[in-house]
Amino acid sequence: MAEHMTNRKRQAMEMQKRIQAAALDLFNQKSFEHVSIEEIAQEAGCSVGNIYHYFKNKEALAASVPAYVDAYYEELEARYASDDQMTALEKLLDFAGEALIISSGDALVWQSFVYSLKSPELGVLKLKPERAYFQVLGRLVKGCQAEGSVPPDCSVEQLVRDLVILHRGILIQWRICEGDFDIRAQGVRMVETMVKGLSV
């Protein structure tokens, strides 16, 4: 029975991802306003009812990818919580590198990022403290403060904001260079430089 439930959950996740990918393809081609739920269903190869089963409306569908990607970040945080060998700074650097791998390596996440850049009015890329990505970053920065690798008077909120800006800039530059550099190594190096600069 548990196996059956696992398979059902996996199939549901695959369907959601297929719907999200189809929607993002269409949004990129035609813009959000000119795409109907019916077109998304046709592109995804499912029924309109199936879309409404997973997403309340088109806006919820457009905003759903960040929640999908936050699951990756929660897995990373769980791994860090069980690791007592890495320092807090090592965890922050690892997270910076892994987040860039996730953003560049998952086609749906990259497509959502590009669409969100084209449609800033949807607010998908705005800093949202309730999202796992920002919460994990904040906790990692606080851990760095506790161990002394980040000054205690440094604003956690400001450093998180700066790290997000750095992440997005590296991601765009990596794409401009057609993936012609090690995005993980670049991210780790730049975050390490940023953190060291805080103590100067």
- What is the CATH classification number for the domain harbouring 165? 1.10.357
Q: Are residues 80 and 179 in the same domain?
A: yes
Q: Are residues 108 and 175 in the same domain?
A: yes
> What integer pLDDT is reported at residue 107 of this predicted model?
79
Q: Are residues 28 and 116 in the same domain?
A: no
Cα(144)–Cα(92) distance, integer angstroms: 8
Domain boundary among 47, 62, 77: 62
| Sequential pLDDT tens for the chain (200 residues) | 334 457 887 888 889 889 988 988 888 788 778 899 999 999 999 999 999 999 998 888 877 777 778 888 989 999 999 999 999 999 999 999 999 999 998 877 887 788 778 778 777 778 788 888 999 999 999 999 999 999 999 999 999 999 999 999 999 999 999 989 999 999 999 999 999 999 87
Contact 111, 60 (CB under 8 A): no
> What integer pLDDT is reported at residue 109 of this predicted model?
80
> What integer pLDDT is reported at residue 60 of this predicted model?
82
> What integer pLDDT is reported at residue 1 of this predicted model?
35
> What integer pLDDT is reported at residue 38 of this predicted model?
95
Domain boundary among 38, 62, 86: 62
Q: Are residues 83 and 51 in the same domain?
A: no
Cα(82)–Cα(100) distance, integer angstroms: 22
Q: Are residues 137 and 190 in the same domain?
A: yes
Contact 26, 40 (CB under 8 A): yes
> What integer pLDDT is reported at residue 17 of this predicted model?
86
Token pair 């909120």 in the structure block, residue: 157
Q: Are residues 58 and 80 in the same domain?
A: no
Range of the domain at 81: 65-198
Q: Are residues 38 and 131 in the same domain?
A: no
Q: Are residues 11 and 26 in the same domain?
A: yes
Q: Are residues 20 and 53 in the same domain?
A: yes
Tokens encoding 9? 């959950």
Q: Are residues 52 and 130 in the same domain?
A: no
Q: Are residues 88 and 174 in the same domain?
A: yes
Cα(62)–Cα(32) distance, integer angstroms: 8
pTM of the full predicted structure?
Answer: 0.80
> What integer pLDDT is reported at residue 82 of this predicted model?
94
Domain count for the chain: 2
